[in-house]
Structure formats: structure tokens, C-alpha cells
Chain A
Amino acid sequence: MAEAKPEKLLVDGRRLDGRRPDELRPLRIKAGILKRADGSAYIELGKNKILAAVYGPKEMHPRHLQQADVAVLRCRYNMAPFSVEERKRPGPDRRSMEISKVIREALEPVLFLHLYPRAVIDVFIEILQADAGTRTAGITAASVALADAGVPMRDLVAGISVGKVDGTVVLDLMKEEDQWGEADMPVAVMPRRKCITLLQMDGNFTPQEFRQALDLAFKGVEQIYEAQKEALKEKYLPSLEEGR
């Protein structure tokens, strides 16, 4: 944190880590890595390391929180104390509670919650290491974990952030760009129908830049969507092929 702002975030069309403006950080997704959870996923996006676990649908306790006609989705976004450079005080705070809420709202539209009235589905997103864009990476991992748990869904949800550094619209901000850039806009999408389920913005975009940023986000989401599907197939396919 003590580092000073670099003079330039963009040199000759290359970013601090050598990426072009429209490039993602290295992405790796793995499905089904926790034995105790009904479904789980692990994602690495650049230096982000995030674990997502899903429990349910299961009976909702306390009973008064049950909904008579649909299942309830509960999300918890939590940062590990060691996930950032300065130790984070553990436990929920204003930021993580808000992020938990927007993540829930980003995932709800894809789930067939009316199939499980009175039940609850718990989603836990644990940030092990943070480097900007954790809420969108968390959504990406959580939707893989939901699919891994066998929860019926319309589609997966893929998320990515876009932003502006040194006046240029860039995809997938890393920490330095998030910190010193001019804008940061996390976007989550249901890729099949191109429906946006989360859109937040911090900073300033002109209307043109906003359109450009959104287009870039959709491009990024496509790549993430493919990686999500690959991760799910990777877990289930080897065992299927073996049997043939």
C-alpha cells in the first residue's frame, strides 16, 4: 500500500504487467475441490485466489426465514485476514455485506428457486488472496460451484471488471490499476442471453467510454464463460471417458 503511484499505468499500449488493454489476466478455474460441500469451485484470476462453496438446497432454519413459494439464496462474501497487504480485520464489514448482497442479486436470476420452496441454498465466497476484481471473480466461481452442486440453473453467470487507466478503457483491472485508475466497473452477465445481472461503477466514464467498456466486458465474459464450462467438463468428463 505504501507504494507510490507509478508515473504511467500504460506504456506503449502495454499495461504494468505487460497486458494489452483488452487482455484478461491468466485465468484458472477448478470445479468440485471441496469434499464436504455439495458443490465447490476455485478460481485464480491473476493474483486473485478465491474459493466458492455451495450447500443445499436444504431445509431452512430458522423457520420464519422460509419463503412459502421459493427457495432462499444466501450469499456470504468474506475476505481472509491475509488476503490483502495490510491485515484485514476478520468478519463482516460494510463493504463485504454490500458485496454479499450484490452477489446474491447477480446469481438469483439464473436459479430455478421456485423448484425448492421453503428451502435454502447457501453460497460462501472466500477471498484467499485479493488483487482487484474479487466480486466478479467470486461470482464466476460461485456459479460454477452452484452447477457442481446440481442446482438447476438457466445459465452460468460470468463476471469481470472493466475500467479506465490513463484515459484508456481496459479489461480486468489489477490492483494498481484499480487504485490509481480513473474508473472501475464490475459487470456480471448471463452469457447465453447476454443479460446483465450486476453492474456497478466507481469513477467516471463518458457515455462513449461506457459503451466501449461494456463491449469489452462482454468480450471478457465470453472467455470466462468458456473457462467455466471447461472447468465443469474437466471434473466430470475424465471419469465418463474412462468407462467407455
Chain B
Amino acid sequence: MLFVENRELVVPGRLLAEGDYFAGEGTFLEGGKIFSAVIGLAEIREKSISVISLQGRYIPRRGDRVIGIVTDTHPFGWILDLNSPYTGNLMVSELVGRKVDVFREDIGKFLRIGDAVLAEVREVDERWRVQLTASERGMGRIRGGRLVEISPAKVPRVIGRKGSMLKVLEETSGCRLEVGLNGRILIRGRDLKKVNAVVEAILLIEREAHLSGLTDRIKAKLEREG
């Protein structure tokens, strides 16, 4: 039995469903009943029920694309800040894509503290130690562009349904965007004015993430300013 409507705002402890339902993300099971664990919107998909959180920190998951900032080095790689309770570890070989003899080569030439890195989460173990990889094409050290940081809970809105918002942002401005699921977004473009317009648009999306019709408004705004 269901006790909520689809897309209804729920608070922690709210009874969502009982019986033949699967407890998804943002929910928990107690005595055969499913409750919401966070404040967010209930999402009912056939027999599974989850809550899309409207708040919260970024928690790394395998396969996530993230933008990290180097905070420390160790003999075989770097520690990256992921805008999360957990830091990421990037090994030299995972950055350059080959075996590196750290006794012969100085790894300082690849990355320095403060550098931003586009990476993918390769593995998260049960102690939340995060291994990153950045050897794929287009990944690795970020050489230029503008970095914006928003709340990780709002990132899905910047991407949009099947990437629709992202497409609008890129096509109307001519800029290239790299979206880190940890709330960091990189904007690359020649025209500074357009880059600024995209930054403004992203901050607007963050502020009004919950509103519908946002994609059209952003498109109009970018076209007006660009």
C-alpha cells in the first residue's frame, strides 16, 4: 500500500509504503514498512520507491565523473579534495595511463597541489576509500576554463533529463561544459562574456532547481545575453 503521491514532498520519518515495495535510495525499512530518511521528493517507479534528496553532500560512487582538487601528494600519487566527506586517491599510473617508475621519474611534473583534475571514481571500498582514474582521453589535469561550485544535490538539474539542460547550455553559448557529479562544473569557451553568462545561468539553476520550465528560461536568458 502506498501512502504518498509521486513527487510529493516528504520529511524524514514519513511513512511511504507498506508491503510489496522495494526501498530505494533515501528510504529505509523498519518493520516491513518503508519510510523516508531525508527531506526530498518521493519517486514511485512501479514497485520501487525512493526519495530524491533536496539537500546533502556528495558521496562518491563507482563510475561517477568528478572534478577534484589536489590537496596533497604521496610517493605514488595524489590526494584530491572531492567536495565530499571523503577524499579521493589518484595513482600516477591512473593519471598517465602507463606504469611509472616513481624512483626514476619525478611525479611532480604531472600534477601540483592546487591543480584541478577531471577524474572518474574507479572504486569505493567499504571504508569509503576512494580510488580515482583519469587516464581516459579528455580527463586528467584541467588546463583552463572556469570552475563553478554548486550544491551536489542540484547537479542533476544542470544536466537535465537525458542531458537536455546541458545541451541548451552548451549550444546556446558555444562553450564546452564538464560536469562533476560532486558539484564542480568546468566551463570552457573563448568568449569570456559567454562564459560569464553560463556561470550566471548555472547559479540560477542552482537557486531555482526545483522550478519547472527552467530549461526554456535558461535558453531565453542565454540567447538574450549572448
Q: CB within 8 Å of B: which residues of A?
A: 38-39, 56-59, 68, 71, 110, 112, 116-119, 147-156, 190-192, 229, 232-233, 236-237, 239-240, 242-244
Of the listed stretches B54-62, B95-103, B109-117, B133-141, name the one at the interface; the rest are far from the partner chain: B54-62
Residue of B nearest to A146 (CB): B12
Judge whether A68 and B127 touch: CB under 8 Å.
yes
Residue B19 at the A interface, CB < 8 A? no
Complexed CA–CA distance, A244 and B11 (Å) = 20
Q: Which residues of A contact B57 (CB under 8 A)?
A: 38, 56-58, 150
Judge whether B55 and A148 touch: CB under 8 Å.
yes
Summed over the interface, the residue pairs from A and B with CB atoms below 8 Å come to a total of: 96
Cβ < 8 Å to A, chain B residues 43-60? 53-57, 59
Q: Which residues of A contact B127 (CB under 8 A)?
A: 68, 117-118
Q: Which residues of B contact A155 (CB under 8 A)?
A: 12-13, 35
Per-residue 0/1 for B205-221: is the Cβ within 8 Å of any A Cβ (1 yes, 0 no)? 00010111110000000
Complexed CA–CA distance, A229 and B39 (Å) = 10
- Chain B, interface size category, equals 20 to 34
Q: Which residues of A contact B54 (CB under 8 A)?
A: 150, 236
Q: Which residues of A contact B13 (CB under 8 A)?
A: 110, 153-156, 190-192
Per-residue 0/1 for B24-53: is the Cβ within 8 Å of any A Cβ (1 yes, 0 no)? 001010100001011111000000000001
| A156 touching B86 in the complex, CB below 8 Å, given contacts A68-B127, A148-B39, A240-B210 | no
Complexed CA–CA distance, A240 and B214 (Å) = 12
Judge whether B9 and A237 touch: CB under 8 Å.
yes
Residue of A nearest to B214 (CB): A243
Complexed CA–CA distance, A85 and B120 (Å) = 57
Complexed CA–CA distance, A37 and B56 (Å) = 11
Residue of B nearest to A149 (CB): B55
Per-residue 0/1 for B65-98: is the Cβ within 8 Å of any A Cβ (1 yes, 0 no)? 0000000000000000000011100000000000
Complexed CA–CA distance, A13 and B106 (Å) = 82
29 contacts between A and B (CB under 8 A): A57-B57, A57-B85, A58-B57, A71-B85, A110-B13, A117-B128, A148-B39, A149-B56, A150-B38, A150-B39, A150-B40, A150-B53, A151-B38, A151-B56, A152-B12, A152-B37, A153-B12, A154-B12, A156-B12, A190-B13, A192-B35, A229-B11, A233-B11, A236-B9, A239-B208, A239-B210, A239-B211, A240-B9, A243-B210
- Sort A-B residue pairs by CB-CB distance and give the 5 closest, nearest first: A150-B55, A150-B56, A155-B13, A243-B211, A119-B85
Q: Which residues of A contact B11 (CB under 8 A)?
A: 147, 156, 229, 232-233
Residue of A nearest to B54 (CB): A236
Residue B201 at the A interface, CB < 8 A? no
